[in-house]
Amino acid sequence: MKTLEQYLDDAAVAHGHLCAGQVLGVRMAMLGLQKLGITDPQGKDRKRVVTFVEIDRCATDAVMVVTGCRLGKRALKFRDWGKMAATFVDVETGKAVRLAARESSKALAKNMHPEVADKNQAQMLAYRIMSDEQLFDAQWVRVELPPEEFPGFKGERVVCEQCGEGISYRREVQRGGKVLCRACAGERYYEPIS
């Protein structure tokens, strides 16, 4: 593992700027890996970690930097729940820990640095030195990771009976006796303009 400062340097480069979210994300990922006993996430342990993130904000980029988990490697799973939380899974041991930023950490940051008017600046300073317990709630959890969730899964590819597009990783659904993609099954996030 690198130090907090080293990870913050890496995160600032990857993310484009240093912000409170980077500090929070780096701290969260470092704590998650530490709890799992994973010491070399970019080296010998690089295939050991799968991370679920629950928000698409600054901190998510920092979590990627520390864990090395990426969407394109299938090691980063996004659950869009709008929560500053992440679950770190050790696929070797099956252990998993979910960390959620505590609501009280924002107010605490303000109290620690009342002289700093800018909220982001105050949080950046405070999040570096707060204890893990002040920053995060931690819980051990169990995460089901079926084979199709893993990088390198070679599964059958099916075709949606309605739109004809191919679907990988068993993401098809059965509706009224038909095999459909999730869009055709009603989960569409877009509307075609004809």
Cβ proximity to Zn ion: between 15 and 77 the closer is: 15
Among 163, 166, 168, 178, interactor with Zn ion by CB under 5 A? 163
Stretch that binds Zn ion, among 46-54, 58-66, 109-117, 118-126 (CB under 5 A): 58-66
Q: Judged by CB under 5 A, does residue 62 bind Zn ion?
A: no
Q: Please state, in angstroms and rounded to a whole number, the distance separating the CA atoms of residues 123 and 110.
A: 7
Stretch that binds Zn ion, among 28-36, 53-61, 69-77, 144-152 (CB under 5 A): 53-61
Stretch that binds Zn ion, among 69-77, 94-102, 157-165, 170-178 (CB under 5 A): 157-165
Q: Judged by CB under 5 A, does residue 181 bind Zn ion?
A: yes
| Residues 39 and 79: beta-carbon distance below 8 Å | no
Stretch that binds Zn ion, among 113-121, 129-137, 141-149, 173-181 (CB under 5 A): 173-181
Cβ proximity to Zn ion: between 146 and 192 the closer is: 192
The C-alpha angle 102, 108, 114, rounded to 5 degrees, equals 155
| Residues 168 and 187: beta-carbon distance below 8 Å | no
Within 10 angstroms of residue 172's Cβ, the number of other Cβ atoms is 22
Cβ proximity to Zn ion: between 58 and 124 the closer is: 58
Q: Please state, in angstroms and rounded to a whole number, the distance separating the CA atoms of residues 186 and 184.
A: 5
Cβ proximity to Zn ion: between 134 and 162 the closer is: 162
Q: Please state, in angstroms and rounded to a whole number, the distance separating the CA atoms of residues 124 and 109.
A: 8
Count of residues of this chain found to bind Zn ion when the rule CB under 5 A is applied: 8
CB-based contacts of 114: which residues, under 8 Å, 6+ apart?
A: none
Q: Judged by CB under 5 A, does residue 122 bind Zn ion?
A: no
